[in-house]
A = this chain, B = another copy of it.
Amino acid sequence: MITVIAGGVGAARMLRALLQVVDASDVTTIVNVGDDLVLHGLHISPDLDTVTYTLAGAINPETGWGLVNESWQARTMLEQYGGVSWFGLGDRDLGTHLYRTQRLREGADLATVTAEIAQAWNLGLTVLPATCDQLQTMVTLAADDPADADSPGLPAGTEISFQEYFVQRQHSVPISAVRFDGAEATTAAPGVLEAIETANLIVIAPSNPLVSIAPVLAVPGIREALIRRRSAVVAVSPIIAGAALKGPADRMLSELGHDASVLGVAALYKEFTNTLVIDSADAALQSDVEAFGLNCIVTETIMSQPGVSESLARTVLSGVSR
């Protein structure tokens, strides 16, 4: 049994790689919901959807998010009204949000709805939100955000939601803090703690440590469960040669006082991680990672390269026994 702690795009690719070499029924993923938002009254769960669509083979390969063969009629109409359109809602994707929102309004919890959606796509693995409760990742701007067509501009010190930072501002503003609003009042979704406690291997996917993995850990009980299972935890670094493959993880690490390198990842993860898998490009840092008290495996980790995803999956699976 394998449990994967997941954010969005990087985690979805790691899961897809793992499913090349293990049976889906043996895999559970615990997915970040700190990026969730309510927009136009719809409950949107970007990381859950990215994982689901990727594993269903339905992800838009050009963007890494949203559905393939998507149309944009609703958004075109919304733009005609001058409505909020910075968050890209494709027509097919809207079907998912409509379904989730309706079910939540009927009283189903997010874990139930997530399972129904995974079932509809015949995913085979178990997809769990970290929590069914509200937990919202907030970031504090470190500099003034200039006004533009979508926004009147915001002064340094303003706290905004993750999607307002990540999508609306394309993470173009430096930040000074990250906070998981409401986290202390949440409880782990049904099955989450059990999936950590009973797994033979726990994988921390190559997702942003600060805004994809950390909000999962902020749910009371999850970090503690991982610490108890530390010997079974293998993390894959999302930072390669000081840079994130996608997204602002490297810049965020620097801005928040961490090393923007595998060493920064090692420092953040050492408490609950036994083994850190780093890219061959960082081979020179292996002993520095080990100095954090971690096993360190060096291998190819860029899953878009031919053959890498399957070999990375096999390396991760072997990681726990090294």
Report which A residues bind B (CB closer than 8 A). Answer: 38-43, 70-71, 73-78, 80-84, 89-99, 101-103, 105, 116-117, 120
Contacts and interface: CB of A to CB of B under 8 A. Distances in A.
Q: Oligomeric state, in number of copies?
A: 2
B101 A81 contact: no
27 contacts: A40-B42, A40-B98, A40-B101, A40-B102, A41-B41, A41-B98, A41-B102, A71-B71, A73-B73, A73-B90, A73-B91, A73-B92, A74-B74, A74-B91, A74-B94, A74-B98, A76-B92, A77-B96, A78-B95, A78-B99, A81-B96, A81-B99, A81-B117, A81-B120, A84-B102, A89-B98, A91-B91
A73 B102 contact: no
Nearest to A69: B73
Contacts of A75: 95
Residues of A contacting B: mostly: helix
B71 A83 contact: no
Given A40-B98, A91-B94, 18 more contacts: A38-B41, A40-B41, A40-B42, A40-B97, A40-B99, A41-B42, A41-B105, A42-B42, A76-B95, A77-B92, A77-B93, A77-B96, A78-B98, A80-B120, A81-B116, A83-B95, A83-B102, A89-B98
A120 B79 CA distance: 10
A93 B74 CA distance: 7
A89 B97 CA distance: 13
A76 B93 CA distance: 11
A102 B95 CA distance: 17
Contacts of A42: 40-42, 98
A77 B105 contact: no
A38 B40 CA distance: 12
